[in-house]
Amino acid sequence: MHKIILNDSRELAPFNEKARDLRIQNKPLWLYQRDVLAPYVTRELEVPADFPIPETKGPCIVYRDNLFFDEFFIKDFLTRAQASGKACRVAFSTDDTSFREHALPLASGYTQIDEKTYVADMWYYPDGITPEAEPLIVDMLGREIGYYHVPTYMASDQGDLVFQVPLRAMVAIESWVHIFVADIIFGLFARGARFENRLENDPFYKLKILGKALYEGRQVLQSSELVQIGRNCVIDPSAIIHGPAIIGNNVTIGAGAVIDNCIIGNNVNISQGCNLMLSVVGDAAFLPFRASLFMTTFMDNSMVAQNTCLQMCVIGRNTFIGAGSTFTYFNLLPAPLRALDGKEELNFANRDVLGGCVGHNCRLGSGMIVMPARMIESDVVLVASPERRVIRKNVTYEESDHHKLTAKQAKLHMRLYPKRGENATESW
């Protein structure tokens, strides 16, 4: 089958980078898409999204390159589309709670075709490109899973906060919030939900898990069936690792560290007393002692210093966050949180709690306090001071503190991720 990829030219704030180049599940999105579709396709072609789709012969799948989708979603869509023998386009119903609550907010890439149906930019053609394609509704099989308990006097409706976690996942990456959705809700939470679903419905798998745990003398969640560890890793015996979890190659995990349902990349150093829960940590990241991540995406080559806790955040690559910093994630007053949407306009994020987002190549000093859902653009330097210790609004590159230094000093921090049309400065 042919594969035609439509290149989306939009750049996501605050990264100033296309969605296809950002890491989802610790892989560049374009590579994640390729791996998911590898069993189905033999040839591929990339074209700009605003160009006409070239003619092809035989079966073909076409999709926009800012889409995150997993193997379970693709299997269901292609199986049903091929069985129909017709040209089909992915569609969602607003009755689908996972789509309605997590994929649709902040998105502009879905097209509404009737009161309850939206279509996404993914098509299947059985015999070459045709002008029309029938909408094929894919059910994400969302299930409600609680993830946080807020005292009832602080919550507007109820104490339990929930996600609508899909067993089949797809979301268009148009905002940094969608990276959080793809990595955490549609990624790690969905992986855990599929594991629980398999345990409930497959008694032989349950026996296999229990047998492996008994043989290894470990708890079920600590057995090698659920915790995959790469080559050449150094893990202190007092560290606690609960699955499902994936640990890459050449990883060091110090004494007293706790890791629960995470993806850890290659060459990562996690020091003593760190706590990581439901987080994705990129290659070559460094977490000194007592650093904590909770439902956070932490991209490659970044560092978060001691006594800093990141909750429900997205942190870009090659970024440093100083010691004792706090990313708040809950409004003290019940005001809705807003974030930039696919049209780069502030809109409601449909999240009761949400951390912040830091772009690539940023340097944040110690003791910073970042308010919920705020963004810090790539290449920004922030130094804690009486004037700017609390970040109450989004911070652009033009507001970076390194511009206040002399020209010679300012050149020490290069602009590596400029906005479109802006010239970057090479770092030597």
| Domain presence at residue 422 | no
Q: pLDDT in tens for each of the 428 residues of the chain?
A: 999 999 999 999 999 999 999 999 999 999 999 999 999 998 999 999 888 888 888 899 999 999 999 999 999 999 999 999 999 999 999 999 999 999 999 999 999 999 999 999 999 999 988 889 999 999 999 999 988 766 665 555 555 788 999 999 999 999 999 999 999 999 999 999 999 999 999 999 999 999 999 999 989 899 999 999 999 999 999 999 998 999 999 999 999 999 999 999 999 999 999 999 999 999 999 999 999 999 999 999 999 999 999 999 999 999 999 999 999 988 877 778 999 888 888 899 998 889 999 999 999 999 999 999 999 999 999 998 887 889 999 999 999 999 988 887 888 888 999 998 776 554 43
Write out the residue range of the structural domain in which residue 359 sits: 226-410
235 and 129 in one domain? Answer: no
- List Cα–Cα distances, 196 to 81, 91, 192, 193, 201, in angstroms: 28, 27, 6, 5, 9
| Domain presence at residue 68 | yes
Contact 287, 270 (CB under 8 A): yes
Token pair listed for 39: 């069993």
- List Cα–Cα distances, 110 to 13, 98, 313, in angstroms: 19, 15, 25
Residue 32 belongs to domain with CATH number: 3.90.550
**What's the pLDDT score for residue 426?**
45
Full-model pTM: 0.94
Token pair listed for 428: 């030597």
**What's the pLDDT score for residue 157?**
55
State how many domains the chain has: 2
**What's the pLDDT score for residue 115?**
92
Q: CB neighbours (10 Å) of residue 129?
A: 18
- List Cα–Cα distances, 302 to 36, 61, 125, 265, 295, in angstroms: 27, 36, 42, 12, 16
242 and 137 in one domain? Answer: no
Residue 167: which of 120, 206, 201, 136 has the closest Cα?
201
| Domain presence at residue 327 | yes
Q: 231 forms bridges with which residues in the sheet?
A: none
Contact 310, 298 (CB under 8 A): yes
394 and 251 in one domain? Answer: yes
| Domain presence at residue 199 | no
Q: Which residue has 């008994």 as its token pair?
A: 214
